Amino acid sequence: MSPEHDPNLQPSSTEGTAAHAAPEAVDSAPGAGTAPQQAMAGAAAAVARAQERVEPAPADTNSSSPEIPITESASTEATPPTEPAIEFVESADTPETAETPEATETMDQLLDQFSTPQGTTEGEIFDGHVLAVTDAGVVVDVGGKFEGLVPAQEFVDSGGAIQFGPGQTIEVERLHEQKDGYVLLSYVRAHRRRVWERIEKSYREHANLTGKIIERIKGGLVVDVGVRAFLPASQIELRPVHDLEAWKDREIEVRVLKLNRKRGNVVVSRRAILEEEQKSKRDALAETLSEGAVVTGRVKNVTDYGVFVDLGGMDGLLHVSDLVWGRAPHPSSIVQPGEEIQVQILKFDKEKQRISLGRKQLLPDPWATVPERFPAGTRVHGKIVGVTDYGAFVQVEPGVEGLIHVSEMSWSKHAKHPSKIVKTGDEVEVVVLEVKTDQRRISLGLKQTLPDPWQAAAEKYPVGAIVTGRVRNLADFGAFVELEEGMEGLIHISDVSWTERIKHPSEKFKKGDTVEAKVLKVDSQNRRLSLGIKQVKDIWADWFAAHKIGEVLKGKVARTTDFGAFVELAEGIEGLCHVSEIEERRPKGEREKTKLPRDARVTSVLTQGQEYDFKILRLEPEQRKISLSYRAAQKQAEREEIQSFRSSKSSPTATIGDAIMAKRQSS
């Protein structure tokens, strides 16, 4: 503590002499003291002048006894200033002093000024000037009315050291206590009140506060805005923030979201400020944007499906399909975050604040001259850039791609999956089949660059040739057999067996089986090849060569129908005996009397499984058809018997009746 504020310091003789000096000398003297001390010295000087007017002062001023207590009270900081003034007035017990109007008026003014103000109450906040910093605390002058002390313990309790010096202005709050003659003050309380008032005002007016991030806690950050405020992680940026440690020790502006002064809780947001700024920028930018306009933006983010571009307050999406002409491997291979690019506004939805951008629209369109450079039938080289289930995409030049459909990859009707024929990155030669400029499509063919097996099918697979192939597919009407890549033939169900009645080819074949067949027909124009298995072993040709029309031979009834009976003449050889060739023809009247159903007319004569004589009526080798007659065979047998009977009896006039009677007698 400085000497002039030490209450134990005793006044010297020179200080007593200074009590008789004029008020101007006291005020202007170096180290004259604080405002209360100056007021005390002025009061003593005024009283001295009043005494001189009534009674001249002795020549030896040092012998004047009243000056010592006055000077002592003026120079002693810890002694309450009010009491010495009162004592001094009471000790000046001279009628002249009390009766002098000037002295009375001056003394009343000094006493009013020096006394404690009536308007000063506990809890009031003052702006004070720091007079001194002592071990006890900070001595503060609050405007000439009184001096106060901010205890040093207050700074210790708040976790800091005293950082004030003489001459600084600080805000303090008056307490109800006094210590060592000083009114106790609180800087911390005043500071907290001002801080809370500022926070509450910011909350009411939606104003911004500046704070420093001091700590990371669960769920967010702690921001010092005069008090500890909580900044949730979701309120830091417009987008999620993952590295919260990087934000420590940064000064930021925040907005108060929630406030509870009683509990001391404050929740702040930085995102609210950013959203407000972004909205204002968007509103301003929206007025200047229009579809078709070319603008400059900065690449903000790159994704697999496109690029987000900051246009200066609003983000637009530059889709990967609008980045460059043709196929882009990945947007990051073309643009990088932070790069400035020119884009065209393709679509602008003001209500939803969505902007679709295009960059390739500002580049030369390679499709403008495609029809002239790649007419149909042209052979071109390209690179496979994509393989799908339905085909492969070929880049014939940067920005121009064509599709090889799966049906144009191989001459085979049962084409393989495109991935088994080509792979991404393969260099291939293709033929341009069709160009659709309006749809930006080019149809390409790969098989057209390979030999067509059907062009030489007639020479390679002539009719009658025996071939071997693998069953690729089964249908209800037959089996498809692959003879080579791109060459297939059909074995119809009727050409599987001469004798068996097959309902479905799966009864004889399964996929992958290797079969031997005969070429029956070749149609190169329609790309069809007919094959037969039963024709490999042609038993019909041998049978037709051994028999002729009119021949009578034995056959076993294999099965009967309402239209006749199928007769097995040899293994695998069948003929048909129609119902009209089974029973004997009779007059119309007799047929009506004994009319039977057609199936009964067959079974009444022929029994399934029994052998009978049949006569060949007609042979059709190409159709493998044999027409038989049971009735004709019976008549021929009767004629032969009559002829034999006539020969044996030597009677040329013998009749059939005679032959029958002779047969009965012999039996």
pLDDT digits (tens, 9 = 90+) for 435-471: 988 888 899 999 888 887 887 788 888 888 888 888 9
As a whole number of angstroms, the distance between CA 252 and CA 249 comes to 10
pLDDT band at 344 (very low <50, low <70, confident <90, very high): very high
> Considering the entire predicted model, what is its pTM?
0.40
CA distance 369 to 451: 31
Residues ≥6 apart with Cβ < 8 Å to 381 = 396, 427, 428, 429, 430
Right CATH for 453-532 from 2.60.40.10, 3.30.310.50, 3.20.20.70, 2.40.50.140: 2.40.50.140
**pLDDT digit string (tens) for 221-256?**
999 998 899 999 999 998 888 889 999 999 999 999
Least confident span in 14-18, 175-179, 211-215: 14-18
Residue bearing the bigger pLDDT, 151 or 49: 151
Q: Which of 184-188, 241-245, 277-281, 644-648 is predicted least confidently?
A: 644-648
The C-alpha atoms of residue 284 and residue 289 are separated, in whole angstroms, by 9
Q: What percent of the chain has pLDDT over 70?
A: 74
Q: Could you give the CA distance from residue 300 to residue 277 in angstroms, rounded to a whole number?
A: 17
pLDDT at 120 over 60: no
CA 68 to each of CA 59, 61, 496: distance values in angstroms, whole numbers, following the listed order: 17, 11, 149
* Phi, psi of 588, deg, nearest 5: -60, -40
Query: 147-160, pLDDT tens digit by residue?
Result: 888 888 777 766 66
Q: Identify the weakest region by mean pLDDT among 18-32, 407-421, 468-482.
A: 18-32
**pLDDT value of position 132:** 85
- Provide the pLDDT for residue 3: 37
Hey, is 614 helix, strand or coil? Answer: strand
Q: In the structure, what pLDDT confidence band is assigned to residue 10 with cuts at 50, 70 and 90? A: very low
The CATH architecture assigned to 366-444 reads Beta Barrel (2.40)
Taking all residues of the chain, what is their mean pLDDT, rounded to a whole number? 76
> When comparing pLDDT for 658 and 119, which is higher?
658
Angle between helices 35-54 and 101-114 (to 10 degrees): 170
Average pLDDT over residues 354-366: 88
Superfamily of 206-275 according to CATH: Nucleic acid-binding proteins (2.40.50.140)
CATH fold of 539-648 reads OB fold (Dihydrolipoamide Acetyltransferase, E2P) (2.40.50)
Which residues lie closer than 8 Å to 140 by C-beta, 6 or more apart? 128, 129, 130, 131, 147, 148, 149, 150, 170, 172, 185
Contact 488, 481 (CB under 8 A): yes
What pLDDT is stored for residue 657 in this prediction? Answer: 63
Lowest-confidence segment of 216-220, 581-585, 604-608 by average pLDDT = 581-585
- Residue 572 clears pLDDT 60, i.e. is over it: yes
- Name the more confident of 79 and 531: 531
Lowest-confidence region among 112-116, 139-143, 229-233, 618-622: 112-116
Q: Dihedrals φ, ψ of 264, to 5°?
A: 75, 25
Region 288-303: what's the mean pLDDT? 90
- Please state, for a pLDDT cut of 90, what percent of the chain lies above it: 20
Q: Which of 64, 57, 17 is nearest to 41 (CA)?
A: 17
Give the H or E element holding residue 228: strand 228-232
Query: Across residues 90-96, what is the average pLDDT?
Result: 39
- DSSP 8-class letter at 629: E
Query: Strands 354-358 and 315-319: what pairing?
Result: parallel
Within a 13 Å sphere around the CA of 519, how many CA atoms are in the beta-carbon half?
A: 22
Beta-bridge partners for 130: 140
Q: Determine the Cα–Cα distance for residues 29 and 403; give it in Å rounded to an integer.
A: 104
Do strands 340-349 and 294-302 pair parallel, antiparallel, or not at all (unpaired)?
A: antiparallel
CATH architecture of residue range(s) 125-191? Beta Barrel (2.40)
The pLDDT assigned to 513 comes to 87
Report the pLDDT averaged over residues 517-523: 88
At 273, the pLDDT band (50, 70, 90 cuts) reads very high
The residues pairing with 216 across neighbouring beta strands, listed in sequence order, are 221
The answer to whether the CB of 510 falls within 8 A of the CB of 471 is yes
CA distance 300 to 279: 18
| Among the ranges given (84-88, 190-194, 559-563, 593-597), the one the predictor scored with the smallest mean pLDDT | 84-88
- Beta strand segments in 23-144, E: 125-133, 137-141
Six-digit token string for 366: 């390679």
pLDDT band, very low/low/confident/very high, at 431 (cuts 50, 70, 90): very high
Q: Where are the beta strands (DSSP E) in 303-436?
A: 306-310, 315-319, 340-349, 354-358, 379-388, 391-397, 400-405, 427-436
If you count DSSP H runs as helices and E runs as strands, how many of each does the chain have, helices first? 17, 30
Tell whether the torsion through CA atoms of 545, 548, 553 and 556 is positive or negative.
Answer: positive
Cα(582)–Cα(612) distance, rounded to whole angstroms?
A: 11
Q: Would the pLDDT of 196 be above 60?
A: yes
Distance CA 482, CA 412 (A): 9
As annotated, the residues of the chain forming the CATH 2.40.50.140 domain(s) are: 125-191, 206-275, 288-362, 366-444, 453-532, 539-648
What pLDDT score was predicted for residue 585? 65
CATH H-level, domain 288-362: superfamily: Nucleic acid-binding proteins (2.40.50.140)
Residue 68 clears pLDDT 60, i.e. is over it: no
- How would residue 102 be classed by pLDDT, with cut points 50, 70 and 90? low
Q: Residue 623 carries which side chain, given as an amino acid letter?
A: Q
CA distance 67 to 53: 17
- The answer for residues whose C-beta is within 8 angstroms of residue 63's C-beta and 6 or more apart is none
Q: Using one digit for the tens of pLDDT, what is the confidence trace for 395-423? A: 888 888 899 999 888 887 777 889 988 99
Indicate the SS3 state at residue 360. helix
